[in-house]
């Protein structure tokens, strides 16, 4: 099984919102991904100022982890049945925690999709939109 990389659109939004974790994959300024073998190359922060026109292309699971760990945003994808077809329903939960005090929890339904990866991609985009750049 291979992790699904985020789309170019999602990668651009992640860069805009401050994603700077190291990855082996990047888009090279157009929607074309450049991949590097971990045995030859070390992961790089393509979104850093020295990254040039590259945009980091992490796996969906890595961006999901970044959202959870850095911004307290969790994405849940749940299978459900709709007109006897299996579809995936997505929810975003965002917690604001300051000084160990739970201030607010936002729960938003965002999508019905045919497969898990499409639902997760939509959820990543919607979660990134919740981040305010300061």
3 in a structural domain: no
110 in a structural domain: yes
33 in a structural domain: yes
Q: Alpha-carbon distance 106 to 94, whole Å?
A: 5
Residues 6 or more apart in contact with residue 71 via CB below 8 angstroms = 94, 127, 130, 131
The CB density around residue 134, as the number of other CB atoms within 10 Å, is 4
Query: Looking at residue 47, what is its pLDDT?
Result: 79
Query: Looking at residue 21, what is its pLDDT?
Result: 93
Q: Alpha-carbon distance 41 to 90, whole Å?
A: 35
134 in a structural domain: no
- Which tokens is 82 given? 């709709």
Chain Cα centroid distance, residue 109: 16
pLDDT class for 90, splitting at 50, 70, 90? confident
1 in a structural domain: no
Looking at residues 86-106, what average pLDDT do you find?
A: 66
Domain that holds residue 49: 8-129
2 in a structural domain: no
pLDDT at residue 119 greater than cutoff 60: yes
Domain count, the chain: 1
Q: Higher-confidence residue: 45 or 15?
A: 15
104 in a structural domain: yes
Among 13-22, 31-40, 68-77, 86-95, the least confident range: 31-40
What is the tens place of the pLDDT at every residue in 2-23? 789 999 999 999 999 999 998 8
Among 79-83, 84-88, 99-103, the least confident range: 99-103
Over the chain, what HEC string results? CCCCECCHHHHHHHHHCCCCCCECEEECCCCCEEECCCCCCCCECCCCHHHCCCEECCEHHHHHHHHHHHHCEEEEEEEEEECCEEEEEEEEEEEEEECCEEEEEEEEEEEEECCHHHHHHHHHHHHHHCCCCC
């Amino acid at each position: 099984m291979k992790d699904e990389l985020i789309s170019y659109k999602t990668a651009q939004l992640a860069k805009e919102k401050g994603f700077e974790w190291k990855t082996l994959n990047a888009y090279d300024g157009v929607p074309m991904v450049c991949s590097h073998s971990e045995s030859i190359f070390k992961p790089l922060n393509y979104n850093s100022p020295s990254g040039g026109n590259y945009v980091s292309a992490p796996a969906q699971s890595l961006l999901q982890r970044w959202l959870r760990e850095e911004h307290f945003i969790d994405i849940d994808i749940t299978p459900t049945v709709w007109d006897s077809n299996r579809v995936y329903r997505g929810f975003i939960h965002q917690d604001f925690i300051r000084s160990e005090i739970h201030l607010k929890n936002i729960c938003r339904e965002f999508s019905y999709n045919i497969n898990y990866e499409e639902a997760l991609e939509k959820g990543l985009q919607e979660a990134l939109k919740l981040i305010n750049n300061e």
